[in-house]
Amino acid sequence: MHLFLAEELIFGLELELPLRTPDLKEAVELQLGLDLPFPREEALSAYSVARESEGYQVTVFAARARTVATTLEELIDEGYAIKGIYPEHQLYLTKRTGGLVWALVMPGRPARVYVFGEGGQLKNRLLLIGGPPSFEELSERCQTGKIYHLDPEPGSGFSPAAELLVEPPLLQEYNLLPPSYRRPDYLKMAIVVLVALNLLALVVGIGFRFQRLAGLAEKTDAEIAELSPLVGEVNKTRAQVNQAEEFQAALNAIGTNPDLPTFFQKLTAELPLDSYLDQFSFDSQQHTVTINGYTDDLTEMTKSLQGLGEVRLKSTSRRKNRNYFQVEIGLP
């Protein structure tokens, strides 16, 4: 059984502790002794810690023990097992809101607003002094458009908090129940034992299967070693076949090329006497020949090559006090 204390019975405290604090629990206990409106030894308390760049942000909730002591004893005498005592707002923290940034308005004197982040972490706690703010005002203060209210007015924009009660609460933090009242959860312990036994059986089964696979792998390795020479011969033959196919493809490609020796004869005959070649390249895909060389007269040189095909002067420059040219000839 879980108990939830009304927010009016809960004392909330926000603490900022430096990162160099040696013992957070001791520091929280000391601060509670200074800030609680009743003696520390009479308090039930729980807290959560968030590490920030500036220090530790600690949220503490506490209640006076004698407020719940009688009820606890009566329930225990009736045979109930008490698993936890939580602030009332934890009743509405469920899986439905676990991935959202949302707020919860709890009417009272004063009214309280709890702002939760992703994962159900309590980000902020506001006390509303005076009249209740509008949905728009509260949405701006809480930085969220999803705000639940225990008793929303129609058309106010607030969502009814009763929607959250269809799922069990997460109860991740702020358990105020003293350790002396916490009884072992024998069902949970039995489940853990069963899970452990199943894991052990799984490990044993995996071990047997591993041994079987190891034997199979050893047998396979022996067969592979026996077949390796044959595989090598097959790969060698396959490489020879590929080489022959590549050579045949090269021969076929050469067969489609133009008669380059005849082209060179014509090129030599047509070039002016003051011109000579430096480089020559042939592009079989574009069916063009590119020549680089030197000449004294670019106009005469390009004009003399017109009979070889479509002549395009690609570039010119000055080298060795002569015109260095690059000409592309499109073959017919």
Express each pLDDT in 93-118 by its tens digit.
998 877 789 999 999 888 999 999 88
Tell me the pLDDT band of 165, cut-offs 50, 70 and 90. very high
Predicted confidence at residue 252, as pLDDT, reads: 62
| Rounded Cα–Cα distance for residues 228 and 222 (Å) | 10
| Least confident window among 45-54, 170-179, 238-247 | 238-247
Angle subtended at Cα 16 by Cα 15 and Cα 22, rounded to the nearest 5 degrees: 105
Other Cβ atoms less than 10 A from the Cβ of 129: the count is 7
Tens digits of residue pLDDT in 120-146 = 889 999 998 877 789 999 999 999 999
Task: Look at residue 5 and tell me whether its pLDDT is greater than 80.
Answer: yes
Tell me the pLDDT band of 175, cut-offs 50, 70 and 90. very high
Predicted confidence at residue 77, as pLDDT, reads: 87
Q: Tokens for 223, please give them.
A: 């067969």
Query: Across residues 208-214, what is the average pLDDT?
Result: 81
Predicted confidence at residue 48, as pLDDT, reads: 93
Note the pTM of the prediction, 2 decimals.
0.54
3-state secondary structure of 174: coil
For the residues of 29-76, what is the DSSP string, one character each?
HHHHHHH-SS-GGGEEEEEEEEE-SSSEEEEEEEEEHHHHHHHHHHHH
Question: 169: which residues sit within 8 A by CB, 6+ positions away?
Answer: 2, 86, 90, 91, 92, 93, 94
| Rounded Cα–Cα distance for residues 43 and 33 (Å) | 10
Cβ 300 vs Cβ 325: under 8 Å? no
Average pLDDT, the chain: 85
Cβ 93 vs Cβ 13: under 8 Å? no
Task: Look at residue 256 and tell me whether its pLDDT is greater than 60.
Answer: no
Task: Look at residue 92 and tell me whether its pLDDT is greater than 90.
Answer: yes
Task: Look at residue 245 and tell me whether its pLDDT is greater than 60.
Answer: yes
Task: Look at residue 225 and tell me whether its pLDDT is greater than 60.
Answer: yes
Predicted confidence at residue 253, as pLDDT, reads: 60
Between strands 310-319 and 102-106, the pairing is unpaired
* 304 closest CA partner among 331, 329, 279: 329
Query: Across residues 278-295, what is the average pLDDT?
Result: 85
Task: Look at residue 306 and tell me whether its pLDDT is greater than 60.
Answer: yes
Long-range contacts of 134-139 (CB under 8 A, 24+ apart): 138/103, 138/105, 138/113
Angle subtended at Cα 67 by Cα 66 and Cα 71, rounded to the nearest 5 degrees: 95
Predicted confidence at residue 187, as pLDDT, reads: 58
Task: Look at residue 73 and tell me whether its pLDDT is greater than 70.
Answer: yes
Query: Across residues 160-178, what is the average pLDDT?
Result: 91
| Rounded Cα–Cα distance for residues 142 and 294 (Å) | 81
Task: Look at residue 216 and tell me whether its pLDDT is greater than 90.
Answer: no
Beta bridge partners of 305: none
Predicted confidence at residue 210, as pLDDT, reads: 78
Q: Tokens for 12, please give them.
A: 């909330």
The residue type found at 102 is: W
Query: Across residues 156-168, what is the average pLDDT?
Result: 92
Tell me the pLDDT band of 182, cut-offs 50, 70 and 90. low
Predicted confidence at residue 183, as pLDDT, reads: 60
CA distances from 249 to 32, 237, 285 (A): 89, 18, 15
